[in-house]
A and B are shown apart, each in its own frame.
Chain A
Amino acid sequence: MPPPATTNLGYTPPDGGWGWVVVLAAFISIGFSYAFPKSLTVYFKEIQEYFGVSYSEIAWVSSVMLATMYAAGPISSILVNRYGSRPVVIVGGFLVGVGMVSASFGTSIVHLYLCVGVIGGFGLAFNLQPALTIIGTYFQAKRPLANGLAMTGSPVVLFTLAPLNQFLFDSFGWRGSFLILGAIVLNCCVAGSLMRPVNKMVVFKPKTEPLEVNGAEEASGAEALRSEDSPKSQSCVHRFIDFSLFKHRGFLIYLVGNIILFFGFFAPVVFLAPYAKHQGIDEYSAAFLLSIFALSDMFIRPATGFIGNTRWIRPKIQYFFAFAVSYNGVCHLLCPLLPGYAGLVVYAVFFGFAFGMLSALLFETLMDLVGAKRFSTAVGLCTIIECGPVLLGPPMSGALVDIFGDYKYMYYTCGVFMLVPGLFFFIMHYFNYRKLEEEKHKEAVGMRTAEDTVHLNIGQKDKSEDEMEK
């Protein structure tokens, strides 16, 4: 009989109930984390003129914010491991609020880098990690769906913030807008207060679904326990960050693939409108392309979560992720071949699907590989390492466009940077699944022999007792 929820969590996640409220809270937190840096670009032109700096200096504000958000991952992980998600998210929301309010009184561009970039970035990091982690504690069977729904926050919040920012700018100028944005972002504190720590005492009736769901996780869970049992001669840092993750096969596959794919992930989004304008399309139609992209992204994320939850996909969800990555690559490779505005619309729709699929599965697959217990640490390590490609990707692509004067080489490069990891994932996870099956088999056999030995011993003991009685 297949073992029940071997989640190594020590309890059975509710998979519903308050969990859905937590998904809403995570939706808000994740939405602000990803959409906030992107939406600030509306103010850049005026701030650039006000401080008399070049556009690239002003664009650094967004980059510093994004970089800090990714780099502060491990710190966020430590805090979540220690204190749980709720306090960290509340502090995070408060930090971003404080950052934006103090930026509204800024007197120099460096002031903005520090307030919006560094403080804001920390605040967003303290929102992102805990939101992802808490989903893992509340959901097991419906986790892909919950993840997909939560990640939909990013396009929805971006869609809302963009016109809102424009309206604030027209009414209050950049200073007043930053002040009001500081208040709006405090809603992350509301989201944080909703993130009730899951009740581990009450044991819920486990579902009768065949829980063949943790394909990649089970054996890795066994590994985790073995490593935890190892002597506690670890340093203070080791207690909070689990560096043994670097020996974890699945984690390494994920990390290597992600480092490569992030080089080509964001650049096509950044250059979609400029590419359209370069082809002679007017500004409004080019901006409309981005809206089409955001809409298809918005709808595909929950759909991907739902599909990933089905019993055909869930056990082999790594392949689904590999498919999503490769699909991205194929989209970019085909983009330059599509003619005119109609071609770009088609590309925007399909790219929106690809981007959404990948985003919805990005953290679900990591959870699937390392398990909910180690997820917090794993995601912290991932984000700080991915910091590099995320920041270097768009400028590198920009350099490609400048050198060749044509956007198609950039698209081909991005396509390759996504197709190669996709294929890498397919191959490596095939081997990984096989190895996991082998390990599971060995474990099962090992357990059975251990039980037999126990029975034998008990039997012998009874026999000896009988003999003694006699």
Chain B
Amino acid sequence: MSAPCMHPSCLLLLLLVVCRHAHTNLVSVTENTTVTTEPPVETLSPITPPVAPLTPLQTGQKSVVLTGENHTEKVEVVNPVTLNLECVWTGDNKRLPNITGYWTKDGKTIESSYSNTQLQNDRYYLRKEFSIMSEEDLGTYSCIFGPKAKVDFILAAPYLGEMRDKPIVSYVGDSVVMICKMDEKKSKPINWNWYKHNGTSKEKIEVDSPGHRYKITKDEKKTKLVVHNLTESDSGVYFCGAVYGIGTSMGHMQLRVITYFEPLKPFLGILVEVLVLVAVILLYEKTGSKKENQSGPEGNPDQTSNLSHGENAVADGHSGTARQRKV
């Protein structure tokens, strides 16, 4: 914003632009503190529109040049925004006064982005303004200096919180609760949606579907899908989508529905093992004691001699005897 505009229409335009930027300051750029990829290469600083309460990030890396080296930056986009991306490269040892740079989106070169960059303050700069309006505009934007250096900006809606990677197990006739959460620190979605994968595509789950088996609750940062009266066909992959201005962020989880027979098998196995062991131990004891009774008469002399031994030993200690007998 340079010289003050006096004309009303100009003012209006200015106001509009300012308002638009003010609304779009929801773009958050993840703080890039330590980029220690193996021989780190370039110094880079992505910059966002000035109104955002964010300062340009300088990663401040050492500039050692290696071919083929690149860097990845994650950018969270919540609402439509005009994003100014800037790449700063400290260059290689050739120090060409001019090199060509260009931008790609998701690997495809943006034709109009070819430009010659000049060495300023010993750095090469590549800047481009991108209009991120809808879900198609999200993706990976890369700036490439000549054939050598590359920076990837991954633009995406906020990722969902930790999802369980192992399947959730439930039983036929039972119900199951599936939960999707958004991190506390991230912005809250406008809405939540649930989908079920039916072999080819995602099918949205409506609450009022026949049978009233589904129940969806939506809190600000959390959503719950409850499925009642499960059947084996309910097994599969379920998706939860957090809807933002820019698009939907998806998370997925797998449901496995099994019958009660599955845990019953190990249960019965262990039960049998316990019963067998108890029977064996008690039988062994019974037969052991029977043997003792049978060898009774022969064993008696031993016992009596033992007794006499014991008695002698006991009788040696005077004080203990009387007490012991009583007990």
Contact = CB atoms under 8 A, between A and B. Distances in A.
A179 to B, nearest CB: 5
What secondary structure prevails in chain B residues at the interface with A?
helix
A52 B274 contact: no
Chain B interface category by residue count: 35 or more
Interface stretch (A6-14, A307-315, A346-354): A6-14
A173 interface: yes
Interface stretch (A190-198, A324-332, A392-400): A190-198
B278 A193 contact: yes
A447 B319 CA distance: 6
B185 interface: no
B324 interface: yes
Interface in B55-110: none
B218 interface: no
Interface residues of A, number: 47
Interface string A44-83: 0010011010000000000000000000000000000000
A462 interface: no
Given A186-B274, A202-B306, A451 B318 contact: yes
A3 to B, nearest CB: 4
B174 A183 contact: no
A110 interface: no
Nearest to B171: A175
A4 B266 contact: no
Contacts of B326: 225
A193 B281 contact: yes
Contacts of B307: 203
A176 B262 contact: yes
Interface stretch (B35-43, B133-141, B162-170): B162-170
Nearest to B217: A52
B230 to A, nearest CB: 11
A189 B274 contact: yes
B266 A190 contact: no
B1 interface: no
Given A50-B177, A173-B168, A182-B267, A4 B274 contact: no
Given A49-B177, A205-B306, A443-B319, A179 B263 contact: yes
Given A172-B169, A205-B309, A1 B316 contact: yes
B313 A4 contact: yes
B179 interface: yes
B270 interface: yes
Given A183-B267, A203-B307, A205-B310, A6 B171 contact: no
Contact of B285 (A180, A196, A447): A196
A8 B326 CA distance: 9
Contact of B323 (A6, A12, A49, A176): A6
Interface string B166-188: 10111100111101000000000
A189 B275 CA distance: 9
A182 B267 CA distance: 8
A184 interface: yes
B211 interface: no
A469 interface: no
Nearest to A187: B274
A222 B323 contact: yes
Contacts of A225: 323, 326-327
B301 to A, nearest CB: 14
A444 interface: yes
Interface string B260-292: 101110111111001001100110010000000
Complex A-B, nearest 9 residue pairs according to Cβ-Cβ distance, in ascending order: A176-B263, A173-B169, A183-B270, A3-B317, A203-B310, A3-B320, A10-B327, A186-B274, A447-B319
10 contacts: A2-B317, A8-B324, A49-B179, A170-B166, A172-B262, A182-B267, A183-B266, A184-B270, A204-B306, A447-B319
